[in-house]
């Protein structure tokens, strides 16, 4: 069997593989919210409540991807679901690319300034790299549309603005605290790059047929 088969549209659309990805990403999402537990608690105690949803960036991106997978397994039949599907999938693509890359860059930027890499860092590098790769593979099966993509980019830019205006961005390695302006510029730029990459992937892949999912 040609190794290319394992990232072909036919293989990626198999229901058992979608379920496997959903379970893995679901567990990763739960772990991600636990990882943000201390920052969520701090924000709840010292910040307005409305800032809480903007704290856990990576697990929320992973949550969007989980919802996108569910919509592939169970295509919506009602109008509300059909209209919502492209937005959820666009959010999954833009945020997963953005935070998948962002986390890896921050980890290695901290290491370049003397922060010691431990096994958890390598685990985060692997999992966040997978976030970016898997959504790019699944663009071919998603029902992305330009308006939904614009909305997803706008949401992610809003998240960036709140993160750095109200200081609820993900806690950084301590050695990067004096590089906050550079981190902020990189973060906003990465959102635009992720949106552009998602748009390119959408244009390159075209739309996938709704009846593709198979258990075979």
Residue 211 has pLDDT above 50, yes or no: no
First to last CA, the chain: 16
E strand spans, 69-114: none
- pLDDT at residue 205, rounded to an integer: 79
Q: Rounded mean pLDDT of the chain? A: 91
Residues near 104 by beta carbon (within 8 Å), at least 6 away in sequence: 124, 125, 128, 129
Write out pLDDT tens, residues 11-64.
Answer: 899 999 999 999 999 999 999 999 999 999 999 999 999 999 999 999 999 999
Phi then psi dihedrals of residue 145, to 5 deg: -135, 150
- Map out the domains of the chain as residue ranges: 3-205
Tell me the mean pLDDT in the region 91-117: 95
- pLDDT at residue 107, rounded to an integer: 96
Write out pLDDT tens, residues 177-209.
Answer: 999 999 999 999 999 999 999 999 988 876 444
Tell me the mean pLDDT in the region 162-170: 95
């Amino acid at each position: 069997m040609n190794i290319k088969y394992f990232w072909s549209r036919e293989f990626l659309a198999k229901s058992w593989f979608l379920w496997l990805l959903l379970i893995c990403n679901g567990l990763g999402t739960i772990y991600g919210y636990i990882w943000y537990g201390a920052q969520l608690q701090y924000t709840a105690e010292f910040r307005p409540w409305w800032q809480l949803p903007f704290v856990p960036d990576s697990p929320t991106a992973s949550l969007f991807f989980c919802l996108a997978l569910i919509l592939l397994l169970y295509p919506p039949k009602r109008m509300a679901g059909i209209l919502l599907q492209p937005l959820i999938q666009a959010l999954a693509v833009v945020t997963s690319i953005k935070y998948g890359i962002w986390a890896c860059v921050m980890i290695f930027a901290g290491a370049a300034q003397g922060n010691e890499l431990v096994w958890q860092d390598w685990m985060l590098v692997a999992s966040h790299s997978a976030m970016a790769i898997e959504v790019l593979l699944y663009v071919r099966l998603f029902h992305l549309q330009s308006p939904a993509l614009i909305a997803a980019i706008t949401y992610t830019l809003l998240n960036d603005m709140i993160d750095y205006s109200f200081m609820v961005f993900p806690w950084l390695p301590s050695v990067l605290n004096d590089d906050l302006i550079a981190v902020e510029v990189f973060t906003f730029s990465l959102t635009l790059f992720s949106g552009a990459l998602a748009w390119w992937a959408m244009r390159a892949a075209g739309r996938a047929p709704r009846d593709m999912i198979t258990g075979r």
